[in-house]
Amino acid sequence: MNYWLVKSEPYAFSFDQLLKDKKTTWDGIRNYQARNNLQAMKKGDLVLFYHSNQGMEVVGIAKVGKESYPDPTTEDKRWVVVDLLPVQKLKKPVTLKQIKADPFLEKIPLVKQSRLSVMPLQQEAFDHILELSERDK
């Protein structure tokens, strides 16, 4: 299993909307590195859902429900999508400030490549973010 993080502006598409809809097609990606990450996703992979711009925090867990296929929002065959399914909302959001302040997470793509919208995570980083969500502090 692989681990990922996807970013969405909550006013455009929030994790609460994913919970309500029960599925979404992750479309509109027009960055080659992000596209390559979508292509590498496998059914069942776990995905952290990050609210960018507003909130700037990890708020939920999703999973890949369908592996990459052509993006229906364009006729350009270079672009792909995956389907994401909600798993659960985090107990508490984990802010970008918390992530940047944690030495264990200082080299994850969210910190090093902040503009990338679809990024891989090591399992240890994924698990650590979940642990941060469970802490009282």
End-to-end, the C-alpha distance of the chain in Å comes to 30
What is the count of structural domains for the chain?
A: 1
Q: What domain range includes position 10?
A: 3-134
pLDDT tens track for 39-76: 999 999 999 999 999 999 999 999 999 999 999 999 99
Verdict on whether the full-model pTM lies above 0.85: yes
Q: To the nearest whole percent, how much of the chain has pLDDT over 70?
A: 99
pLDDT of residue 39: 98
Q: What is the pLDDT of residue 69?
A: 98
**Position of tokens 């309500």?**
20
Tell me, what CATH number does 109's domain have? 3.10.590.10
Coil vs helix vs strand at 136: coil
Confidence of residue 130 (pLDDT cuts 50, 70, 90): very high
E-strand spans in 15-100?
24-26, 46-51, 57-70, 80-95
User: What is the per-residue pLDDT for 93?
Assistant: 98
Q: Which residue has the higher pLDDT, 3 or 137?
A: 3
Q: Which pLDDT score, from 0 to 100, does residue 137 have?
A: 57
Reported as a pLDDT band with limits 50, 70 and 90, residue 108 is: very high
